[in-house]
Structure 1
Amino acid sequence: MKISTIWASLALLAAFIFGVFQVSIAHLNPACSKIPMTPGCTHKASQVTPSVPLCPLPFNEWSIAARAVPGNSPRPGGSIPPWFNRALALRGQQVASEFRVPWYISMFFGILVELNMPDVRNPLMFNKKQTTGADNAKRDMATLMQGVVWTRDYFHSMPIEGNSSFIDSIQNVHAIHTDVARRANAKFAKEGCIVPRHEYANQTTNDVMWDAFESDLKNSNIPASQRVPSPTNWPTCPTPTDCGACKACKKCEPCKGGGGKCKTKCTECAGCKACKQKAAAGCEDQVKSYNCGACMCDAKKGNCGECKSCTSAQKCLNFVPPMFNQQSMLFVVYLFTAYPVLFGKDLAISACEADLWAFNHLFAAVGYGLGIDDKYNALLQPDIKSARIYYKKMHEEIVIPSLFQFNKQSRLMMDNVFKGLSSLTRDLLSPTFLLHRFVHNFLNQPAPRLKALMTKKERDLDSTLDSYLPQFMNSANYRSVANGALHGFLATTTNTLFKGNCKDDKISSKKCFV
């Protein structure tokens, strides 16, 4: 994987296209943190202290259980967790500032991954703040600027409510999520679906590009084990068929080989299509009906009509995931926290283990403030080695499998992300170019069909990035230049989009939202 070429392009664009070269002073002094790497959590309840919480659930349990619990937990005691280590979090802020450009790119590609997860995508579609490329550009810049606040409002003293841009930002993001969840839950209770198909059925997507993307994935070397449906994309099972409802059927349809007569129990109902009215609402992410009562047959067409059990034909959940559940909220911060830890060299992040541990601690604390409880906060780990193991499982068993389950909603949302970034960079970072870099670099897979769609200009940029930018970005001096260029780009762009509402951390934490 060679992600350095992806994120470095933004720094060059900011510097050369917009003419905003500035010098940024490196923050890492000393070069590697001297803060003791104490345990971030414990698996033993007897060892829990105010500064050492209990570790989150094991991954196999977390992957499903975290979807069942609301993730926007209130924080009446404040947005700072009791296990917060100020010195460690401050160092984490400094690490994020030193490697700001690759961290931003982790955020950008994290958005792409999240938008294919129904628990993240559907509330965003419902909120209608990303319906066009222009809307998306503004929203994503607002999200980026809150990340700036989290990493730039340095913890030189303990953050205190009323005197901390970090806390103001976290609380305002939390409030936005609470409001969206309240409105979405009200609509779901009334209609059974928050994003009905008719709202997007007539919208068009860049199907030529997305078909090429799916073809490149299908023909890639990604193993079969990473292509199975991801638990994050499992739909909700429909309401189980009432086995006493066959008596309500007006017509029984006979199976092959014999007639059928409606009886009082589902297990005795020969082919009766019972209880369709009890099926779950027709949302994109719900199983439409059980096979029970619809003439189940085995592989040899035997036992036709013998509905012995009411089971779904695909894996599904026995609960409806809450809006902004613990898992979806965790993925909001996971991607731009875990990937610098997992793929540091490929992102041209040369931070030592102690610095990555500090970086990880900072965003575990951000997750707490956003409403993620310790039990589900996968960023809470005993040590950096344990973090890598857990993050790798999330990447290989949730993130990559989810990419094989694209639908029209995902295409629409991602099209708007690409259009927004393309417009911000004056069409130099085109959708096809970005998606090709994502597959080729992020997944370390060839993307021949996507590359065939690229223009000569895009292929030339692609080649230039591969040959030149890794050298450019692996130098601390050039990182300083890139950080300064990016700072200038953000200042210019946000001033245009938000008219002064993002000009410093204090104002951004309160007004830089959409």
Structure 2
Amino acid sequence: MPHPDLVNVLLFTGRSSSPESAAKRYYSTTTEILSWYDELPWGSGPGGGEFAEVAKSLKRVRMLQLKLARTISSKISREGINLNSRDYSAYTPIAAWPSFHKDLEESNIPLCQRRIPPTFGESKDFIPFNQHALALTQFSFVGYPILFPERFGIFRPSEDDLWAFNHFWAILGYTLGLEDKYNIALQPDLKSVREVYLEIFERYTIAAGFHWWPGAVCLVDSIFQGLERITLLGTPNFLLYRILRDVFDVAGPNMWKCLTIREKLNSSFADHVFLPILLKYQVTRKLCTFLYVRHTQFCTHY
């Protein structure tokens, strides 16, 4: 989601501004989050050992956020709101963004969902890691699996499973600094959760897809190139095409034409083997996770 509150912070850090730095950052992020998932139930080990490790991880992430927020706030107080002095207007995109935009424009997405999202712009009162930005980040992790589980390889989850997953992210949101009134996972029931997440998806995610700006395109290109280094299938055009398909539910005929034969085969493999078979069963799912972690470790160290 190219929201300025999120993009500007990532551009400011520089940790996602090149394929190399993006690869290291998202390998680190992925392994950190997987550790939160894998080490449950918290506190089940002797002396609550597993909880202690997860708590240390969460505390470390929160401390990094607070340190970065202080740095950004200091820069803003000295130089004004412009966090990134670089001019991105002449940036030449790596991925086939014109085809991506054309597919969105030619889709059946209603006009009311294409308007510029609320608060989609820099503010003179910008606060780094504000509650709004943290809530949107939380949605990126919890929203899609609950709204569209099948699109992301989660087959026939029970309502109890989804509710438990949502509760888990309510706890994570609180631990990472979200106040209760901004914690989108704190809802009375799963029906309310879906209503809130669908509203965010339609008002922010879909709308943001129609309003990419050069700095955001540059950032996402770097992220995609970084992910290409640590995933077995991803290339910038492949990932853009899958975002159209799996997130926006748009066929993407123009992006399809931009794919190489290998990228088209990879997409077919994802549709017919990876998502419906390899991620369907616990054994193959764990094997895929193991191979992914080992592959990313190798790619980021060599």
Same fold, TM-score > 0.5, yes or no? yes
Contact 2:107 2:250 (C-alpha < 8 Å) held by counterparts: yes
Q: Name 1:129's counterpart in structure 2.
A: 15
The structure having more radius of gyration, on CA atoms, is 1
**Structure 1 residue 168 corresponds to structure 2 residue 56:** yes
Task: Select 1:138's aligned residue among 24, 28, 32.
Answer: 24
Q: Higher helix fraction: Structure 1 or Structure 2?
A: 2
RMSD: 2.4
Q: Name 1:487's counterpart in structure 2.
A: 290
* Pair 448,496 (structure 1): closer, same or farther in 2 beyond 3 Å: closer
Q: State the distance in 1 between where 2:213 and 2:276 align.
A: 38
Contact 1:149 1:165 (C-alpha < 8 Å) held by counterparts: no
Residue 474 of structure 1, CA deviation: 6.0
Q: Name 1:278's counterpart in structure 2.
A: none
Q: State the distance in 1 between where 2:266 and 2:142 align.
A: 28
TM-score, normalization: structure 2?
Answer: 0.90
* Pair 148,229 (structure 1): closer, same or farther in 2 beyond 3 Å: same
Alignment of 1:246-285 (within 5 A): none
Residue 120 of structure 1, CA deviation: 0.8
Q: State the distance in 1 between where 2:120 and 2:235 align.
A: 28
**Structure 1 residue 413 corresponds to structure 2 residue 203:** no
Contact 2:103 2:254 (C-alpha < 8 Å) held by counterparts: yes
Residue 441 of structure 1, CA deviation: 2.6
TM-score, normalization: structure 1?
Answer: 0.55
Q: Name 2:236's counterpart in structure 1.
A: 431
**Structure 1 residue 193 corresponds to structure 2 residue 81:** yes
Contact 2:96 2:258 (C-alpha < 8 Å) held by counterparts: yes
Contact 2:81 2:126 (C-alpha < 8 Å) held by counterparts: no
Residue 470 of structure 1, CA deviation: 4.4
Where does the alignment leave 5 or more consecutive residues of structure 1 unmatched?
1-112, 237-318, 500-514
AA aligned opposite 1:398: Y
Residue 333 of structure 1, CA deviation: 2.0
Residue 355 of structure 1, CA deviation: 1.2
Q: Name 1:442's counterpart in structure 2.
A: 247
Q: State the distance in 2 between where 1:387 and 1:320 align.
A: 30
Where does the alignment leave 5 or more consecutive residues of structure 2 unmatched?
none
* Pair 444,492 (structure 1): closer, same or farther in 2 beyond 3 Å: closer
Q: State the distance in 2 between where 1:211 and 1:497 align.
A: 31
Contact 1:367 1:377 (C-alpha < 8 Å) held by counterparts: yes
Alignment of 1:243-392 (within 5 A): 320-349=125-154, 350-392=156-198
Aligned sequence identity (%):
28
**Structure 1 residue 457 corresponds to structure 2 residue 262:** yes
Q: State the distance in 2 between where 1:231 and 1:358 align.
A: 30
- Equivalences, count: 299
Contact 1:136 1:417 (C-alpha < 8 Å) held by counterparts: yes
Contact 1:418 1:430 (C-alpha < 8 Å) held by counterparts: yes
AA aligned opposite 2:80: G
**Structure 1 residue 218 corresponds to structure 2 residue 105:** yes
Alignment of 1:497-508 (within 5 A): 497=300
* Pair 172,161 (structure 1): closer, same or farther in 2 beyond 3 Å: farther
* Pair 388,330 (structure 1): closer, same or farther in 2 beyond 3 Å: same
SS for the counterpart of 1:429 is coil
